[in-house]
A and B are shown apart, each in its own frame.
Chain A
Amino acid sequence: MKNWAVHSSRNSRGQMKIQQMAFVLVAFFILFSIALVFYFSLKTSSLKNDAFNIREDKIRETVQRLAGSPEFSWTREDCAACVDLDKVFSLKSREDYNGFWGDVPFIQVKQVYPVANNVECSADNYPNCNTITLADKGSYVSEEAYVALCRFDKGEKYTACTLGVIRLGVKK
């Protein structure tokens, strides 16, 4: 009887210990799960940011490639990022190029530095203006890429380049 009581008491203590261990393990598991969820949510938000930046970079590279197209390229010197401003301005008034840009809703070339008044170029004010808009229709989201805007200054007889942007609109 006495042996049975001692044996039974030991079994209970063993079971208590096992239960304690089980609860501790469950608690640790819950704690680590919460920590892991927190960590992965941080990592996921940084991944979304990276994906957005990569998409923006690809669009910028595409926009800057316009500077290399025959309608924009500066051919006096070897310069991939240079745009011939005189050529671009002449495109604006050429009827042959009406509809050339197809479904592209917005194309604009704008001088950024030196800073100038926001004036659209026309036959009356060129080159004392800072914006040439080749297409502007419908609703769009625009992206821009930095380029050098170059032209031949007939007065001082030299080529002058300023810093500008090509803006391209993409349909929403």
Chain B
Amino acid sequence: MSMFLKRGQEEVVGFIAVVVLLIIVFLIFVSLNASKPAEIGDSTEISQFLGSGFEYTSKCALDYAPNYLRVGELFEACYKDKSCISGERSCEVLNSVLDEMVVTGLKIGENRPRTGYNLKAVYIANEELASGEKPEVTSLIYGQCKFAKLGSVKSLPAEGGIIRVTLEVC
């Protein structure tokens, strides 16, 4: 009789061990899925923001006033490290305008719907469109952006290639 009881207990212990093992595997699976950052799709809102933002007229003119550059043109001027007639570097004007525009336009900040953004612009020469070097034009980071929620990529024409601008917002 006691042998039967022992065997019964062994069976139950084995069953519970299998159940516990399955629960652990399931929890690991769920936590891995949850922690995987979602892919950043092409957000219509961010795409419209970038397209409209590139038309913003800055206070930087390279040759004469009032031939001011649009933000979309400032990227190429920054890549070539040109200076405005006011004496400011085009990159300084570009970074300042972009930072203010993104923070104000997309409502980013503490106690606001969004907490941060990553903006990066790289130059891609025509012959290196598929692969190869992509020198950075500018890079701006604001706030804590562990897993970006929205993003978009826009390309601007530049001499001998394109400038690819990526904006991710979280």
| A interface residues with partner B (beta carbon < 8 Å) | 20, 24, 27, 31, 35, 56-57, 60-61, 64, 79-82, 112-115, 145-148, 150, 153, 156-164
Contacts and interface: CB of A to CB of B under 8 A. Distances in A.
Given A64-B48, A160-B57, A162-B56, A146 B67 contact: no
21 contacts: A56-B44, A57-B43, A57-B45, A64-B48, A112-B105, A113-B56, A113-B105, A145-B48, A146-B49, A146-B52, A150-B55, A153-B66, A157-B66, A158-B67, A158-B68, A159-B57, A161-B55, A161-B57, A163-B52, A163-B56, A163-B105
Contacts of B57: 158-162
Given A31-B22, A158-B66, A82 B104 contact: no
A31 B104 contact: no
B15 A27 contact: yes
B52 A147 contact: yes
B34 to A, nearest CB: 9
Given A148-B55, A161-B56, 4 more contacts: A27-B15, A57-B45, A153-B66, A163-B56
A126 B48 CA distance: 26
Given A113-B105, A148-B56, A158-B66, A24 B48 contact: no
A31 B20 CA distance: 11
B26 interface: yes
Most chain B CB inside 10 Å of its own CB: which residue of A81, A113, A147, A156: A113
Interface of B: 11, 15, 19, 22, 26, 43-45, 48-49, 51-53, 55-57, 65-68, 70, 100-101, 104-105
Given A148-B52, A159-B57, A163-B56, A35 B101 contact: no
A113 B48 contact: no
Nearest to A147: B52
Nearest to A158: B66
A57 B44 contact: yes
A158 B58 CA distance: 12
Q: Which 5 A-B pairs have the closest CB atoms?
A: A148-B55, A158-B66, A57-B44, A146-B52, A146-B48
B15 A81 contact: no
A47 to B, nearest CB: 14
A152 to B, nearest CB: 11
Contacts of A146: 45, 48-49, 51-53, 105
Contacts of B53: 146, 148, 163
B68 A81 contact: no
Contacts of B66: 153, 156-158
Most chain A CB inside 10 Å of its own CB: which residue of B55, B57, B100: B55
Contacts of B52: 81-82, 146-148, 163-164
Nearest to B34: A42
Nearest to A32: B22
A79 B53 CA distance: 12
A164 B55 CA distance: 11
